[in-house]
Structure 1
Amino acid sequence: MIINELPDDCFFIIFGLMNELDDLLNCSKVCSKWSHLIAERTRNVKYLIGHSRLFEGGYRFWSKAQISSKSQIYPLDYVYYRTMDPIDGPFLSTLFPNLIIADLCKEFYAKVGARLYISNAYKSLKGIILPYHDSILKYCDKLEMLSIQYDHQYIVHMLLFGGLMREHDIKQLHHWDYTLDEFAKISVRFQNLQRLSISKYEGGKADGCYDGFELPRLKMLELNIDSYEVEFIYYGFQFILCCPNLQSAYISLYSNRFFVVDSCEHESLQDLVLSFNVDDVDCNELEKALIKYPNLKHLALDCRYLFNQNLKNEHVENLVCILPNLVLFVVRNCEGVTQEAADYIQEYNKLHGRSIKFYFDQNYHEIQSDWPQLSTKYERISHGFDFMKHCFLKESHQLPIFLVPNED
């Protein structure tokens, strides 16, 4: 029996095990029958994802060995790529007619004829990941998720003047190599924005007090903004006040001095991760900032980059007392927090009728079994608009670019 005499069902099983673009393209060129079957296989693909990780200097593709070890990462509606060979853009849009998210790294973008691809596929696209600025966005009139490295003037141009993109449609915005000051200069309101991620790793001028538009529907915020300034005041907590319905935040701190508005509390925030990237922490400043979130339920303090371990047991004990709704408290990579703090919280629970779950370096391994719904898996795209599941236990560089809401 020759292979082409196999029934179509067998081919569907074989092709269903393929989720690398190179393999699918090569098989589609074998004969007209295979081309038709590959088209059926790819009709329901929703996500085209670069088999890469993002580093400060750009993209670095996984090796074949790494790909083999990660072959079970993606289900049938994902296809990933490593190819650097030229690909016909219109053909690619025919291959994936129902694509929802396109992850276009710079190298792939140049080889694939991405403008032609997007211009043919834009009707189904809801999310796009671009490493640099391009007029490609003028083809996208239904985008809800956008990951970019653009200057603010270009965003204004594309949203208001140069294209069909509508700012009120954008629900998730992922900026890298950007600052809050630059975001404040964007003259669009993003009234329906639900998740905002801003990062700048190389450092720039420190942000000042935020004076941009309020974000009334923002639910998730991720800030990872470094500065070349040795000492500066961090205004991220002031920015949170401009997001009145914010529920979850992941803040990477590069300063131990925080600007806090004494007269205001934020009652919506329930989930907070603070990742310390400074030599020391002013624990009095920290308490002053956290007391402004009386309804905080889940708090994680990650001291991975803390060289001066001055976060101690007594500071943990103070935080438990000033946060009346806390139920999950995690302190990672901190030698100054010991079993003494755990014993105190256990006794505090008994005395005050609380049920705070506390994890630190000595019992951190238990959190996976106690909270199996919280993921630590690296994903560029995660399913479910759920901060606790997809962000709470991860390091800042592991956070997903997009959170795709589950379909009802």
Structure 2
Amino acid sequence: MSLNDLPENCLWLIFGNSCSLEELIQLAQVCSKWSNLISMRLEKVKYLVRVRPLDHFDYTKIWVKKPTTVARYNLRELLPNLRILTIPCLGPRDQNKIRALVNCNSNIKGLVGLKIDDLLDLKNVEMVTMDNAMFDYKHKFQPDQLKQIRFFSTGTRMRKLHKYVQYFPNLKRLNFNCCERIGYYGPQLSNLKILESYLYGWDGDLDEFYLLDFCPSLESAFIKIAVPYERVDSSIKNYNLRDLVIEISRDEQLNWRFVRALLSKFLIYIILRLEALVL
């Protein structure tokens, strides 16, 4: 029995186990039967990533090994239901391929790796991973357009964070690294559900959980801190928070008084990632 004699459902499982776009394109060239099955496989793809997915059976993700693949093939036809795109590093000659995929494409809702010099039509985008130096974001996005933001550059300025919050008041998810030794003094992030932050520039004079007090609807938070400071304002409660992960970046000590204060502030399941817990 040859491979092509297998039932279509068996072939589908074989093709589904491949998460490489290049491999699937090559397999689709074997025969029309394989091409039709792989087309069905690619119709399920919603995420185009540059890192090999850990779960090969997640049909919604496809991995691109070479950036030139994006320029070589018409991904708008190959991946008709693509929603999230990781922007590859391409030369100026191939940038038109990215524009053809993104511009005027109402299906694309998220971009990873957005840079200040990317000449893209972003009117349909709701989720971005972008450079925090994108000072002209008001020219690239409409007010209240973005729902999720991740700043991939290190050293997000806390003093500028309030400007993004004011311009995008309906943010649902925020991920950033902060290197400034100042607190947040901006408007409330009233609709924020998920917060992920690394406060590596803060010192013992600042409350690392102060920002959470500006997020009344917060449901999940990951806070990574360089120096733990055990002051918590227990007078402000947030009972919407369901899980909180705290990671200490070096060998520091926490005590149970600090943990009890957090429990009184948030009725949640807390995970502490640290090497030493002082009882």
TM range (shorter): 0.7 to 0.9
| Aligned CA distance change for structure 1 residues 255 and 29 (closer, same or farther; 3 Å) | same
Cα RMSD between the aligned structures? 3.7
For residues 273 and 218 of structure 1, the distance between their equivalents in structure 2, rounded to whole angstroms, comes to 17
| Structure 1 pair 18–273 and aligned structure 2 pair: CA distance change class (3 A) | closer
**Residue 184 in 1 paired to residue 162 in 2?**
yes
Structure 2 counterpart of 1:242, from 198, 214, 227: 214
Task: Determine the C-alpha separation between the residues in 2 that align with 1:105 and 1:20.
Answer: 15
SS at 1:48 equivalent:
strand
User: Are residue 114 (structure 1) and residue 114 (structure 2) matched?
Assistant: no
Deviations 1:295-341, CA, capped at 9 Å, x for gaps: 4221122114xxxx4x322xxxxxxxxxxxxxxxxxxxxxxxxxxxx
SS in 1 for 2:214: coil
How big is the shift at 1:77? Answer: 2.7
Mapped partners of 1:289, 1:251: distance in 2: 16
Question: What does residue 141 of structure 1 align with?
Answer: 123
2:181 and 2:37 map into 1 onto residues whose CA distance is 54
Which amino acid in 1 is paired with 2:125? Answer: L
Could you tell me which residue of structure 2 aligns to residue 124 of structure 1?
A: 107
Of the three residues 78, 82, 86, the one matched with 1:103 is: 86
Report how many aligned residue pairs link the two structures: 276
Name the TM-score, length of structure 1 as normaliser: 0.56
Aligned: 1:225 with 2:199: yes
* Match status 1:168 vs 2:144: yes
Distance 1:37 1:288, change over 3 A: closer
Q: Deviations over 1:129-173 (max 9, x none)?
A: 11643435x4233333222223252333322xxxxxx44343322
Q: Distance in 1 between matches of 2:8 and 2:181?
A: 59
Q: Does the alignment pair 1:49 with 2:15?
A: no
C-alpha spacing 1:38/1:191, structure 2 compared with 1 (3 Å)? same
User: Are 1:19 and 2:16 counterparts?
Assistant: no
The aligned runs of 1:257-276 (5 Å cut-off) are 257=229, 260-261=232-233, 264-276=236-248
Matches within 5 A, 1:6-405: 12=12, 14-29=14-29, 35-51=35-51, 70=54, 72-88=55-71, 91-106=74-89, 113-119=97-103, 122-130=105-113, 132-136=115-119, 138-159=120-141, 166-176=142-152, 177=154, 178-186=156-164, 188-199=166-177, 204=179, 206-227=180-201, 231=203, 233-257=205-229, 260-261=232-233, 264-281=236-253, 283=255, 286=258, 290=262, 293=265, 295-304=266-275, 309=276, 311-313=277-279
Maintained 8 Å contact 2:165/2:189: no
How far, CA to CA, are the matches of 1:40 and 1:291 in structure 2? 49
Q: How far is 1:275 from its partner?
A: 1.0
Deviates more, 1:211-220 or 1:73-82: 73-82
Shift of 1:258: 5.9
TM superposition shift of 1:99: 0.8
Shift of 1:183: 1.6
Q: Which runs of 5+ in 2 are unaligned?
A: none
Q: For residues 131 and 233 of structure 1, do their structure 2 counterparts lie closer, same or farther at Cα, with a shift above 3 Å needed?
A: farther
Deviations 1:45-73 (A, max 9, x none): 22222225xxxxxxxxxxxxxx8xx5x53
Alignment identity in percent?
25
| Higher relative contact order, chain-length normalized (CA < 8 Å, sep 6+) | 2
CA distance change for structure 1 residues 106 and 100 in 2, over 3 Å: closer, same or farther?
same
5+ residue gaps in structure 1? 53-66, 160-165, 314-408
2: CA distance, partners of 1:187 / 1:249: 17
Larger helix proportion of the pair = 1
Q: Secondary structure at the match of 2:164?
A: coil
TM-score normalised over the length of structure 2: 0.78
Displacement of 1:263 in angstroms is 5.0
Spell out, residue by residue over 1:30-58, the C-alpha distance to the aligned partner (whole angstroms, 9 max, x if none): 56665555333312222222225xxxxxx
Report the CA distance between 1:215 and its aligned residue.
0.9
